[in-house]
Amino acid sequence: MKSFRGKTLSWALSSGTIELVLDRAPCNEIGSETLPELEQFVTALPELQEDAPALIISSARKQGFCAGADLRELYERSQGLDVSDKRASVRNFIERIHRVMNALDSAPLTTIAAVHGVVFGGGFELALTCDLIIADKMARFCFPELRLGLIPGFGGIPRLKRDLGNAVVRDLLLTGRSINAAKAQSVGLVSQVTAEGDALRVARATAAQLGKFDRHTALEAKKFIKPVPFDELREEIDIFCELIARPAVESGLRKFVESKDALPYLP
């Protein structure tokens, strides 16, 4: 399928680049609607990539790239379940999202996240699967999970460890603070910072440049410099599923759900 428009995202192949656009209100929260469409995308990817050396992931939502997992749905779905059922339900979701993230991470083409605004939690983790992150100057990155009694569950810690120094990883994870695009670039997370509203244009220009290179060589280089940390990803799933049924998480999620604020866990 060369193009697709679903409830939460769309994709199209144009000028040798695949563009995957997230578009679910309010800010592309990833839940039971988005996950199957992401799975459809990675299923379609082998055919799509035959004609494209690059993939750009971006967002059509004004608020940002992606605010992460759909925590309201996570909370509501877990109500009434006992601890083992809750863990089993979450594990099923997490295993599926990890398969998507791993497929994107290891996809045999160059992947670019063109981000703006909120790049939080699972949205940050989605961006981390990409080879390059190109950020609008107003983008903001954050792993707020510890504020909810959790750790990132979509592969964030192993991928952050792969890409950044451990002191930066600890700072982001243990403080849960958000950082701006300039800071993200200074620590090596972001490859280019653009003017407001310009990330997608710059990503397209970068994709066009990639298209000039020998594809086989680019793929060999990618395999060499971007190994997928499978063992640590597996470990992260186990820790996340262990933590999810703790009372502190229940309490944190309830507080989140009951708040009417856009980002109840901030500041």
Partner 1 sequence: MPDIDTTTNQILDLASTHFKVPREQLSPDDDFFKKLGIDSLQALSLLTRIEGHFHIELPDYELQGVTDFRTLAERIQSRL
Which is closer to partner 1, CB of 177 or CB of 215?
177
Draw the binding track, 144-163, toward partner 1 (x: CB under 8 A; -: no contact): --------------------
Q: What x-and-dash track marks residues 167-196 binding partner 1 by CB under 8 A?
A: --------xxxxxxxxx-------------
Who's near 102: CB < 8 A, 6+ residues apart?
A: 129, 155, 228, 230, 233
Residue 6 touches partner 1, criterion: CB under 8 A = no
Site for partner 1 (CB under 8 A): which residue of 81, 245, 257, 266? 266
> Please, what is the minimum distance in Å from the beta carbon of residue 65 to partner 1?
13
Do 141 and 189 contact (CB within 8 A), yes or no? yes
**Beta strand pairing status for 132-136 and 9-14?**
unpaired
Task: Give the Cα separation of 131 and 226 in Å (integer).
Answer: 8
Task: Count the site residues for partner 1 by CB under 8 A.
Answer: 21
| Residue 117 binds partner 1, judged by CB under 8 A | yes
Rounded Cα–Cα distance for residues 243 and 264 (Å): 20
Contact call for residue 137 and partner 1 (CB under 8 A)? yes
Residues in CB range of 48: below 8 A, 6 or more apart? 1, 2, 11, 13, 18
In angstroms, what is the minimal distance from the CB of 57 to partner 1? Answer: 21
Cα separation of 205 and 226, whole Å? 22
149 or 176: CB nearest partner 1: 176
Could you list the residues that contact partner 1 (CB under 8 A)?
63, 117-118, 137-138, 140, 175-183, 261-264, 266-267
